[in-house]
Structure 1
Amino acid sequence: MAEVASLAVGVIALAGLFNNTIECFEFIQLGRNFGKSFQTSQLKLDNARLRLSRWGASLGLGDSPQEIQSLEQRFGSGQKSDQAEALLGQILDLFAEAEGMSQKYKRRTKAGDSSLAVFHPETDLEPANVDLHRKMRQLSIDRQNRTGLRAKTKWALYEEKRFRRLLEDVIELVNSLVELFPASQAVQQQLCQREAAVIGADEDISMLQEIAAEQDKALETALAKVAKSTRGSTTVVFSGSNNTGFQLGSNSGSISGFTFGKGN
């Protein structure tokens, strides 16, 4: 009985860590030193957050505390909960270390220096990419329990090499979290399908597809399925009255069994 109670407490603590970790992404800005690579870098950061949120959602870690207490059976033992807690703690440590380096960079740089300027996703991303940013951000936020989260001040990564290292380390830790709970991967695939449906194939998602191929294979597969489904769709619009008028149609893929001709 004591072991069950301990596991329940551990799961609640893990949920709190998960929500805090997802929230940390919200406060990261990228410096204008990134130049043209800002577009890709921002979407890579958004995707890393999305993938972590997917993992947590597959375990119900964004649910209310009352619901979380019933999740013990998903963990099997307190050991997995402890391991996941340690991995999330490492991600938080990486963010804290990166923020500390950011503060050091600011202190040794003259105020007003152009190297301290930052990008703003809502205004600096290209139209197609800002749409992807908004969708991935909202999907991640929707998987959080934001109750009790404290507001923080935004901070910036000014050096691209530090960003790349941070991202690589975060992706590696998320990989470890996913591998720790193999039974949840089926749920993650379902969540991926929903993500792909929200992101859609009508927009220019080529940059996200490249990013997913590199760091999120599950999303890459889901996006490919949505794109294939869209390519095979057919749209036909009839306009006119009294059985006369014109037909406007578009199709991507094979089609048969349709004839268009003059009515009787």
Structure 2
Amino acid sequence: MAEAAGLALGAIGLAGLFSSCLECLNLLETGKGYSRDLSLLCVKYKVEKTRLLIWGESAGIFQDQESYNNSLDKVWIKSVVEEILQQLKLLLNDGSVLKSNYGLQKITGANEQGLEVDRPRGLDDSFESRFQKLSLSLAQTQKRAGTVDKVRWAVKDKRKFTELVDHVRQLVDGLIEITPDLQPRQREKVQEDISVLKDPEDLRLIQEACSASHPDWSEAASDAAETHSISAERRILIAQWLERSESFASNLMSSQLPPIETGDVRQNSTQISSGQLFAARQTQLVPPQRSRWVYLDQHGNQIGPWSGIEMHSLYTDGVFDPRSLLKKVEEDNYENLTQFMLRIGKTVEPFLEPQTGILYPPLVGQFAPSSKES
């Protein structure tokens, strides 16, 4: 019992130190007037800040004891983690070092307007929201590990700031490498974080900034950018289709639709066993270009598999009607299009909505399927 209490106290102490590091990282502002090179550098800094947050969430150090990752209780791992976090806090909490060695300047009333400080957006929005929740969780258990200087900073010297970004990245890399069992969950969280970003410029910056150092981030940003690059013409087609099918959806909501029978439907010999796929592979939140769908044509033949992007193309080309039967490859049962839209709560661009499923490899030579049926 005493040993368990000691572990719990150790976890709480680690959470306090971790929270102090996040707070220090969050004291740097990025400016609207920065050049593109400096903007890319600031994106790299934001990515490292978010990587640290994702590491802490994956470790469960702010959650209850059941969610806490026990690998942190290994003496040698806990010792290295604490040392890395201490180094990170010292690096970011020494004002004279930040100013002289890393090219930062304090934001004061006299220079704040001239710096045109940008407010959080994109990654910043996500970080701020989650950091506030984590801070509240920590406040309910203990005080922070020491005090943090609340002075806010802006970038003055790009060359020196590059060194700070590199040092932060190396320390975050150390945390990730010392806890390899957390990495699958971290990759999943990266997909989740990037998939909800909407700003094309944010996504382009992340893709470019991470191309060499973090290819998983760059690939996720590329996937998200492709998802959100739907033309205005296709959006109009969607609105027209929804208008035509509105009465049918209303009938379904009133339980007027008869049950759908699929027992006699013919399927081709290439169908994949969904039960085997689910048993063999772990599901996660999947962007549309990494999902796989099949549907039944008017003769009951299974068509596909297609990615969510290709299903969206078919959808906007009018291939489907409200009764069209479809499913993801790994699912057992078909449902009609209207049932699918009502189930996920999306009647606009339903196939572009990230959904829980199997993350398939990117398609090579992906092309838009023909809207013509034989």
TM-score where L is the length of structure 2: 0.53
The answer to whether structure 1 residue 94 and structure 2 residue 208 are counterparts is no
Q: Secondary structure at the match of 1:61?
A: coil
Paired residue for 2:44? 44
The offset of 1:156, in angstroms, is 3.5
Once residues 227 and 34 of structure 2 are traced to their aligned partners in structure 1, the CA distance between those partners, rounded to angstroms, is: 36
Query: C-alpha displacement at 1:168, in angstroms?
Result: 0.3
Change (3 A) 1:9 1:218: farther
* C-alpha deviation, 1:254, in angstroms: 1.1
2:128 corresponding residue in structure 1: 138
Matched-pair contact (CA < 8 Å) for 2:206–2:221: no
Asked if structure 2 preserves the Cα contact closer than 8 Å seen for 1:55 and 1:188, the reply is yes
2:117 corresponding residue in structure 1: 120
2:209 aligns with: 211
Compare 140-149 and 17-26 and name the one that shifted more.
140-149
Deviations 1:46-80 (A, max 9, x none): 111111101111011233xxx15862624251321
Structure 2 Cα separation of the partners of residues 90 and 54 of structure 1: 19
TM-score by length of 1: 0.71
Structure 1: 5+ residue stretches without partners: 123-129, 242-247, 260-264
Cα shift at 1:119 = 4.5
- Does the CA contact (< 8 Å) of 1:8 and 1:69 recur in 2? no
Alignment of 1:1-264 (within 5 A): 2-29=2-29, 35-63=35-63, 67-68=64-65, 71=68, 73-97=70-94, 99-102=95-98, 118-122=115-119, 131-138=121-128, 141=131, 144-146=134-136, 147-148=138-139, 152-200=150-198, 203-204=200-201, 205-227=203-225, 236-237=237-238, 238=240, 253-258=367-372
Q: Which amino acid counterpart does residue 70 of structure 2 have in structure 1?
A: Q
Change (3 A) 1:226 1:28: closer
Change (3 A) 1:139 1:49: farther
- Name the aligned partner's letter for residue 27 of structure 2: F
Query: Which has the higher Rg, Structure 1 or Structure 2?
Result: 2
**Structure 2: how far apart are the matches of 1:68 and 1:160?**
42
Q: CA RMSD in A?
A: 4.0
CA distance in 2, matches of 1:222, 1:186: 15
User: Which position in structure 2 is the counterpart of 1:126?
Assistant: none
How far apart, in 2, do the equivalents of 1:79 and 1:89 lie?
Answer: 15
**Range with greater deviation from structure 2 (230-239 or 16-25):** 230-239
Question: 3-state DSSP class of the match of 1:254?
Answer: coil
CA contact (8 A) 2:38 2:158 kept: no
Give the conservation status (yes or no) of the 8 Å contact 2:28–2:152: yes
Give, in angstroms, the shift of residue 230 of structure 1.
Answer: 5.7
Aligned residues: 238
2:26 is paired with a residue of what secondary structure? Answer: helix
For 2:173 and 2:12, the matched residues in 1 are separated by 22
- Structure with the larger helix share: 1
The range that moved more, 132-141 or 54-63, is 132-141
Amino acid of the residue matched to residue 144 of structure 1?
A: L
- Percent of pairs identical after alignment? 21
